[in-house]
Homo-oligomer: A and B are copies of this chain.
Amino acid sequence: MKVVPYERIETAPVTTEGSAGCRIRCLIGPDDGAPSFTMRQFEIAPGGNTPKHAHAYEHEVFVLEGAGTVLEAAGEYPVQAGTVVFVAPQEVHQFRNTGAGPLRFLCLIPHPLRGMLGSCVVACGCE
C-alpha cells in the first residue's frame, strides 16, 4: 500500500506543444505497480492552459482547486473545485486557468496506452 500526501510527490513541467504554465505530478502509476490506470495531478498557473488536442484515450478529471474552463468542440464550460469532467476518446479538449490562483485537478488515463501514445504528456508511464 502507498499512502502519501500529494505534496511530497515531485512535479515536472509539461512540455507538450501548446501547453503553458502546466506542471504534472504522477500520483499513482506503473512504478507503484498500478495495473490498469494512472492518477496524475495537473497544476496550471494563472493564465496557463493545457494543449488543445485530441487522442485515442479518455480522461477522467476531478477539479480540486481554482477556477477555469474546459473547451470541447461544441463550446467552453466553467470548472471549479468539485467539477467532474469526462473526456471521451477522440474528443478535442483544453483546460484553461481563468482564476487568480492555481488551477489544480486530477486527470486519470488508462495504461498501458497500447499504441495510443500520440500527444501523451510527460512521465507517468506514458513512455
Which residues in A have some Cβ–Cβ distance to B below 8 Å? 1-7, 9, 27-28, 32-37, 39, 57-58, 60, 62, 64, 70, 72, 74, 77, 79, 82-89, 91, 93, 106, 108, 110
Q: Which of A39, A89, A110 has the most CB of B within 10 A?
A: A39
Cα–Cα distance between A3 and B84 once the two chains are bound (Å): 6
Report which residue of A35, A37, A77 has the largest number of chain B beta carbons within 10 angstroms of its beta carbon.
Answer: A37
Copies of this chain in the oligomer: 2
Contact of A1 among B36, B39, B87, B106 (CB under 8 A): B87
A110 and B93 alpha carbons, distance in the complex (Å): 23
* Among candidates B39, B79, B85, B87, residue contacting A84 with C-beta atoms closer than 8 Å: B39
Expressed in whole angstroms, the Cα–Cα distance for A33 and B60 within the complex equals: 11
Contact among B34, B57, B70 with A58 in the assembled complex (CB-CB below 8 Å): B34
User: Which of B37, B88, B91 interacts with A108 by CB under 8 Å?
Assistant: B37
The residues of B that contact A74 with a CB separation of less than 8 Å are 1
Q: How far apart sit A84 and B74, CA to CA, in the bound complex (Å)?
A: 34
Q: Give Cα A84–Cα B4 distance, bound, in whole angstroms.
A: 5
Which among B1, B58, B85 is the interface contact of A93 at CB below 8 angstroms?
B1
